């Protein structure tokens, strides 16, 4: 009896030790999310005015992707898709007003897979769209970010709060008075703690989401007289079909900016907000370098979508062109990625969830709709044929491969751009019959079925993004500021 009990105890101790050893071997994950950061970062060389030394530093630590695209050019659907592993066309989460929690069960998200895998799951800031939080997904989450009052401490150099719905102003405050500083602090604190289990640490920074209100010194880094406007063609929308023009809304934000004569000021503000976020990323990386977890932690750096600053007479996201859909993606995977490598393959952010499962040795859930890009982390030049797919609203899709972008709207309108010859997407080739085969090939990546927009309330159907855009435009014309995701 005693011998049997002793054997059982020894077996239990051995099993527990084996589990502990297995957990210790699992890599940690530092999951960095940035809001509204487009391709204006140093390593992409798309706008040489930008100053992002810390993002560029992170890019040199592993593999930097040059053609990486969001699943949706809107905060809520983009983040829901990335975190759930299911595309907007599957969930029906197309806009910022849809409560994804009613559609995505709690056992589906990325956080659930890590918790099932024995991870401590914690985070701070904006990971999901902040109108809909599900605290039960996390073992710990920062609840008080602060910073709200500091956003209103305008500098003596601020003219006002911006132009219409495009909000920006330099501030008379310190860096640590804004919420992103506290969010980065949370990540720094977690990296300095002793963890008994492998951790999944999510850090979601808000800037450069509007308002682009950051301390004056960040504006001073970009003298107004040196600001250059993005590539712009006055008649850019002349060959864009009606559905595309409706998304551009040239008589909304863009007209307001042109009428105000403050286009360069808005560019300056976006660059300043980006530089502020880069500083917080640097603080996080400094803590990472000093931590005990440096050699066994995967870093994934992603942004929810891009942003237009006047290209195609459009501002904000909410469109299917390059500026709204392209965003930075960086991976550092110990033992897999090589420092300073660059991948020019075309990927979208639906690849993040399955790739993390594979590189962390966790089971891949059956519901995931994106491919793992582990082969590209091993060899950035490896063969790759899967294009990137972006969806904006019901049955509006853009497909991007290394050479082309094809957009097809719900009403059948089309756009096709030769990205090699026309990187600014100034010439729509969709009506040229010699390119029919290209359109047909790219169309294969568009979903065969598109989920309907979920009911917001019983008996009521939520307005589509197009309907909401028209409503926002009317508000702007009346001087009312539209809501931003």
Q: What are phi and psi of 428, to 5 degrees?
A: -80, 115
| Catalytic residue (choose from 46, 70, 122, 129) | 129
Pull the structure tokens for residue 99: 């409560």
Q: Is 129 a catalytic residue?
A: yes
Contact 99, 132 (CB under 8 A): yes
**Which one is catalytic: 75, 173, 303, 360?**
75
346 contacts: CB under 8 Å, gap ≥ 6 = 67, 68, 69, 384, 386, 387, 388, 400, 401, 402
Indicate the Cα dihedral angle 414, 419, 425, 429, nearest 10°. Answer: -40
- Beta-carbon contacts of 453 under 8 Å, excluding residues fewer than 6 positions away, are 92, 94, 95, 98, 394, 461, 462, 464
Q: Which two tokens stand for residue 176?
A: 């640590």
Place of tokens 């062109």: 321
Using an 8 Å Cβ cutoff, are 110 and 469 in contact?
A: no
Strands (E), 159-263: 162-163, 166-171, 199-205, 212-215
* Residue found under tokens 């550092």: 332
Q: Under a CB-based contact definition with an 8 Å cutoff, are residues 269 and 168 in contact?
A: yes
In 304-459, at which residue ranges do the beta strands (DSSP E only) sit? 308-309, 315-316, 329-332, 341-348, 388-391, 397-400, 404-408, 414-418, 455-457
With a CB cutoff of 8 Å and minimum separation 6, the contacts of 6 are none
Q: Is 75 a catalytic residue?
A: yes
Burial (Cβ within 10 Å: 0-12, 13-18, ≥19) of residue 334: middle
Distance CA(87)–CA(89), nearest Å, equals 5
Q: Which residues of 263-301 are buried (b: 16+ CB within 10 A; e: fewer)?
A: bbbbbbbbbbbbbbbbbbbbbbbebbeebebeeebbbbb
Q: Give the Cα separation of 460 and 89 in Å (integer).
A: 20
> Taking a C-beta distance cutoff of 8 angstroms, is the pair 202, 127 a contact?
yes
8 A C-beta contact, residue 278 and residue 52:
yes
Residue 111 in tokens: 């956080």
Name the residues annotated as catalytic: 75, 129
């Amino acid at each position: 009896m005693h011998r049997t009990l002793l054997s059982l105890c020894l077996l239990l101790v051995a099993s527990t030790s084996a589990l502990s050893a297995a957990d210790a071997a699992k890599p940690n994950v530092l999951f960095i999310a940035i809001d509204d950061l487009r391709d204006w970062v140093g390593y992409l060389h798309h706008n040489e005015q930008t100053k992002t030394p810390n993002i560029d530093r992170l890019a040199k630590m592993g593999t930097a992707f040059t053609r990486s695209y969001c699943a949706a050019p809107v905060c809520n659907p983009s983040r829901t898709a990335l975190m759930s592993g299911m595309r907007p066309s599957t969930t029906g989460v197309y806009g910022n007003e849809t409560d994804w929690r009613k559609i995505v069960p709690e056992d589906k998200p990325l956080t659930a897979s890590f918790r099932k895998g024995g991870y401590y799951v914690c985070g701070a800031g904006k990971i999901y769209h902040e109108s809909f939080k599900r605290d039960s997904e996390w073992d710990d989450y920062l609840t008080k970010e602060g910073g709200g009052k500091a956003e209103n401490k305008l500098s003596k150099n601020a003219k006002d709060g911006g132009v219409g719905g495009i909000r920006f102003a330099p501030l008379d405050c310190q860096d640590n008075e804004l919420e992103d500083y506290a969010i980065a602090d949370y990540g720094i604190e977690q990296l300095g703690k002793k963890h008994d289990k492998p951790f999944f640490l999510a850090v979601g920074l808000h800037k450069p989401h509007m308002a682009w209100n950051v301390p004056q010194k960040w504006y001073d880094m970009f003298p107004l007289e040196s600001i250059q406007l993005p590539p712009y063609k006055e008649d850019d929308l002349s060959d864009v079909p009606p559905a595309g023009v409706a998304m551009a809304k040239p008589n909304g934000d863009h007209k307001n900016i042109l009428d105000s004569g403050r286009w360069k000021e808005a560019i300056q503000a976006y660059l300043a907000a980006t530089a502020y976020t880069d500083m917080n990323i640097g603080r996080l990386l400094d803590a990472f370098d000093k931590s005990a977890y440096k050699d066994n932690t995967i870093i994934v750096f992603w942004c929810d979508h891009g942003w237009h600053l006047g290209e195609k007479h459009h501002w904000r996201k909410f469109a299917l062109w390059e500026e709204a859909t392209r965003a930075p993606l960086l991976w550092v995977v110990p033992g897999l990625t090589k420092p300073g490598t660059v991948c020019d393959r075309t990927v979208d952010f639906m690849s993040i969830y399955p790739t993390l499962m594979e590189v962390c040795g966790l089971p891949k859930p059956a519901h995931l709709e994106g491919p793992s890009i582990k082969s590209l982390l091993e060899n950035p030049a490896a063969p790759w044929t899967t294009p990137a797919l972006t969806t904006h609203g019901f049955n509006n899709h853009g497909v991007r491969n290394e050479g082309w972008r094809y957009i097809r709207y719900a009403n059948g309108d089309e756009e096709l751009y030769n990205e090699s010859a026309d990187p600014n997407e100034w010439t729509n080739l969709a009506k040229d019959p010699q390119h029919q085969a290209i359109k047909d090939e790219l169309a294969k990546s568009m979903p065969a079925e598109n989920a309907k927009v979920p009911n917001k309330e019983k008996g009521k159907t939520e307005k589509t993004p197009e309907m909401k855009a028209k409503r926002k435009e009317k508000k702007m014309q009346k001087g009312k500021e539209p809501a931003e995701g």
